[in-house]
């Protein structure tokens, strides 16, 4: 290129031997090639227009126009050296115009930042809390010990107050807010016209259309920086495993917000661009807009595609939210494209949605397997004594509650089958509950055949444990709103199951106490003493156990009282002389039984008394 520039200078020096057209070409060629060589060598030279769309290099623009004019009037024969030089200069001139186009700031996000008081620089924008509309506030427990899921509201605590962050996002997601902003830089419109006019004259419209694929967009780029993954803009695949320094919630929450903002912004940008008169650029407006829209959508799709390979159940809710966000945004996004362009975008969206659905079905299968085979850790409190709500039960029902708001998406995903006859959210919950109960049966205390008392105690604990967990499942199913999905008879069957567990518990724990009163041929005093001893022993073994469900607690107390108190009262009536010598009256027994299952509260009450 340097040699070419030198040749142009020599041509100028030899102007006396040139035609007027050749001389004009040589002068223009010298300006264009000289500027291009300097820029190629790294020199910081201004282009034709500055960032404010003001022409700052009239000589360069005039040189470009001169070459265009010579080409238009066919100033040189087809096979001549001058014609080849003109064509080379024309190529460089159009390249110069493409650079100018890519440097032009068509879209302006400054008004948006000023109005919101939020900067969208990478690492600076703080995400909203869960109540802003971007949910995912709960996480499935990981593959470690099973425990109750926890909220993660502590994320993004820095970067401004929560109320300001939530308010900013709420405004951004309001289409009217975008409509109130001028997202197009007015000064850029005349430059677009001038560039398009010269490209059309030169016959290089394909080059301009190609340049659209790399066109910057200040508004969309600000939103896409929320993802904080520059690699997503340059690679075809972003893997979750490649970004271990982020949590899945962090990444997907950012992606969901970016997707919503991009969808809102694109709709407004299209309206504003179509409303502008851009002169010669009007014929390119649709192609230009669809190119930048496709670019931003494909960035989001590549990011989402990175989650299609994970099958860990603890990522299920996150990926499900991603699937829903993409499904919800797709209809509006596709409306932005013409019939000729929409098929490509639609096909790519469908591919990512299908891969996400496949990954979600695998995660659901993994969740079922985890419920069936999970290693259950040592626990504390009532669960440690074998009667409380087991962590596996809490885990399973937390999963159900997290999945229940996503019924529509899950029904669509599971309709294609996830194994285990799981074809809907309702069937999934049924399988989870069935798997849970079978697993609980296996991890319960084993009955001893060596010691009758130990066997009775183990049986009582077993039935109390199963009743507690069955009751918890029923209550959480109602809270999650999934009970209607389980069929009309599910609640009744669940009630019958709990009632059987209660009856079995009373039979194992309190029936032996009442049986002490049936000893024939023994003195009433000894019978009463044996009964009192058995009652005290059973009472002490049960009083510190905790049943959190008030309804179940009352049902257990009532059943125990009905087993013991009427029999004891009848025995005292049949032996009136014992009335003054027994340790407890029938009323006192009833009161004691109604103190059962308070756990630590029972001990505190004793201390207060």
3-state secondary structure (DSSP) of residue 503: helix
Per DSSP, the residues of 1-49 read -HHHHHHHHHHHHTGGGS-HHHHHHHHHHHHHHHHHHHHHTT-----SB
- Alpha-helical (H) ranges within 276-307 are 285-305
Give, for 561, the enclosing helix (H) or strand (E).
helix 550-574
Please report the pLDDT score of residue 502 as a whole number.
Answer: 95
In terms of average pLDDT, the best of 92-101, 279-288, 584-593 is: 279-288
Q: How far apart are CA 298 and CA 344, in angstroms?
A: 11
139 vs 288, higher pLDDT: 288
Please report the pLDDT score of residue 601 as a whole number.
Answer: 60
Q: Which of 200-204, 385-389, 484-488, 565-569 has the lowest mean pLDDT?
A: 385-389
Residue 499 exposure: Cα atoms within 13 Å on the Cβ side: 6
Average pLDDT for 583-609: 75
Comparing CA positions, the residue from 233, 254, 229 lying closest to residue 242 is 229
What radius of gyration, in Å, describes the C-alpha atoms of the chain?
A: 39
Q: Which of 47-51, 85-89, 118-122, 502-506 has the lowest mean pLDDT?
A: 118-122
Over 50: is that where the pLDDT of 146 sits? no
User: Angle, to 10 degrees, between the axis of helix 81-103 and the axis of helix 186-202?
Assistant: 160
Average pLDDT for 198-217: 92
Locate 600 and state its tokens: 């630590």
Q: How far apart are CA 428 and CA 417, in angstroms?
A: 11
Q: What is the pLDDT of residues 27-68, one digit of tens each?
A: 998 988 888 887 777 666 667 887 677 777 788 889 889 999
The CATH label, of 1.10.10.10, 1.20.1280.170, 3.40.50.300, 3.40.50.720, for the domain at 382-607 is: 1.20.1280.170
Q: Judge whether 572 and 544 are in contact, CB under 8 Å.
A: no
Q: Is the pTM of this model over 0.75?
A: yes
Q: What is the pLDDT of residues 231-266, one digit of tens each?
A: 333 344 444 444 444 577 788 888 998 898 899 889
Locate 277 and state its tokens: 């008169």
235: left (phi over 0), alpha (psi -120 to 50) or beta: beta
Please report the pLDDT score of residue 298 as a whole number.
Answer: 94
Compute CA distances 31 → 5, 37, 81, 176, whole Å. 9, 10, 19, 48
Helices (H) and strands (E) in the chain, counts: 24, 0
Locate 502 and state its tokens: 């209660």
Compute CA distances 91 → 84, 87, 88, 147, 449, whole Å. 11, 6, 5, 67, 95
Q: How far apart are CA 8 and CA 5, in angstroms?
A: 5
pLDDT band at 326 (very low <50, low <70, confident <90, very high): very high
Q: How far apart are CA 542 and CA 505, in angstroms?
A: 11
**Cβ partners under 8 Å of residue 42, min gap 6:** none
Q: Judge whether 449 and 396 are in contact, CB under 8 Å.
A: no
DSSP-assigned letter for residue 107? B
Comparing CA positions, the residue from 100, 90, 110, 109 lying closest to residue 53 is 100
Locate 353 and state its tokens: 């949605």
pLDDT band at 214 (very low <50, low <70, confident <90, very high): very high
Over 60: is that where the pLDDT of 497 sits? yes
b (16+ CB within 10 A) / e for 17-52: eeeeebbbbbbbbbbbbbbbeebeeeeeeebbbeee
Locate 304 and state its tokens: 């989402």
Q: Bridge partners of 184? A: 107
237: left (phi over 0), alpha (psi -120 to 50) or beta: beta
130 vs 562, higher pLDDT: 562
Comparing CA positions, the residue from 141, 36, 60, 50 lying closest to residue 103 is 50
3-state secondary structure (DSSP) of residue 55: strand
Greatest Cα pair distance, the chain, in angstroms, is 146
Residue found by looking up tokens 């069937």 in the block: 427
b (16+ CB within 10 A) / e for 387-404: bbbbbbbbbbbbbbbbbb
Q: Judge whether 320 and 410 are in contact, CB under 8 Å.
A: yes
Q: What is the pLDDT of residues 370-414, one digit of tens each?
A: 998 876 554 444 444 457 889 999 999 999 999 999 999 999 999
Residues in the chain: 609
Q: How far apart are CA 197 and CA 84, in angstroms?
A: 23
Q: Judge whether 426 and 390 are in contact, CB under 8 Å.
A: no
Locate 179 and state its tokens: 């409509």
Over 80: is that where the pLDDT of 365 sits? yes
DSSP-assigned letter for residue 145? S
């Amino acid at each position: 290129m340097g040699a070419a520039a030198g040749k142009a200078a020599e041509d100028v020096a030899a102007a006396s031997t040139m035609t007027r057209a050749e001389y004009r070409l040589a002068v223009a060629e010298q300006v264009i090639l000289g500027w291009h060589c300097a820029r190629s060598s790294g020199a910081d030279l201004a282009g034709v227009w500055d960032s404010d769309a003001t022409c700052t290099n009239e000589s360069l623009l005039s040189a470009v126009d001169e070459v265009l004019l010579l080409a238009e009037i066919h100033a040189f024969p087809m096979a001549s050296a001058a014609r080849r030089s003109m064509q080379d200069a024309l190529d460089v001139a159009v390249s110069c115009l493409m650079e100018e186009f890519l440097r032009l700031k068509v879209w302006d996000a400054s008004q948006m930042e000023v109005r919101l008081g939020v900067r969208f620089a990478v690492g600076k924008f703080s995400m909203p809390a869960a109540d802003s509309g971007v949910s995912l506030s709960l996480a499935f427990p990981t593959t470690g010990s099973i425990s109750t899921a926890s909220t993660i509201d502590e994320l993004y605590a820095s970067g401004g107050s929560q109320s300001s962050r939530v308010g900013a996002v709420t405004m951004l997601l309001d289409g009217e807010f975008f409509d109130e902003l001028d997202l197009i830089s007015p000064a850029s419109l005349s430059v677009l016209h001038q560039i398009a006019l010269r490209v059309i004259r030169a016959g290089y419209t394909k080059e301009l259309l190609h340049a659209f694929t790399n066109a910057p967009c200040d508004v969309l780029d600000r939103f896409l920086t929320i993802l904080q993954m520059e690699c997503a803009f340059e690679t075809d695949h972003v893997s979750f495993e490649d970004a271990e320094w982020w949590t899945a919630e962090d990444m997907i929450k950012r992606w969901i917000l970016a997707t919503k903002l991009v969808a809102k912004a694109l709709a407004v940008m299209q309206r504003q661009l179509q409303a502008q008169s851009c002169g010669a650029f009007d014929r390119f407006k649709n192609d230009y807009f669809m190119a930048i829209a496709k670019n931003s959508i494909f960035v989001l799709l590549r990011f989402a595609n990175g989650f299609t390979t994970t099958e860990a159940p603890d990522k299920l809710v996150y990926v499900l939210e991603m699937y829903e966000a993409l499904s919800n945004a797709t209809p509006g996004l596709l409306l932005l494209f013409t019939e000729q362009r929409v098929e490509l975008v639609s096909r790519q969206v469908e591919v990512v949605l299908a891969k996400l659905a496949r990954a979600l079905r695998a995660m659901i299968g993994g969740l079922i397997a985890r419920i069936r085979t999970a290693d259950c850790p040592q626990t504390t409190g009532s669960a440690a004594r074998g009667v409380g709500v087991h962590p596996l039960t809490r885990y399973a029902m937390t999963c159900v509650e997290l999945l229940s708001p996503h019924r529509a998406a899950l029904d669509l995903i599971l309709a294609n089958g996830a194994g285990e006859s799981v074809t809907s959210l309702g069937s999934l919950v049924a399988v989870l509950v069935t798997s849970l109960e079978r697993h609980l049966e296996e991890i319960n205390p084993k009955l001893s055949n060596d010691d009758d008392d130990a066997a009775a105690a183990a049986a009582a604990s077993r039935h109390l444990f199963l009743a507690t967990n069955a009751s918890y499942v029923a209550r959480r199913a109602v809270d999650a709103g999934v009970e209607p999905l389980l069929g009309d008879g599910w609640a009744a069957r669940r009630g019958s199951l709990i009632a059987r567990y209660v009856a079995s518990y009373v039979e194992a724990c309190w029936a032996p106490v009442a049986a002490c009163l049936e000893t024939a041929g023994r003195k009433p005093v000894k019978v009463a003493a044996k009964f009192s001893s058995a009652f005290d022993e059973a009472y002490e073994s049960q009083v510190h156990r905790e049943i959190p469900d008030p309804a179940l607690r009352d049902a257990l107390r009532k059943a125990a009282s009905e087993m013991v108190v009427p029999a004891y009262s009848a025995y005292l009536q049949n032996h009136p002389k014992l009335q003054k010598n027994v340790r407890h009256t029938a009323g006192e027994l009833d009161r004691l039984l109604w103190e059962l299952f308070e756990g630590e509260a029972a001990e505190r009450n004793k201390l207060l008394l």
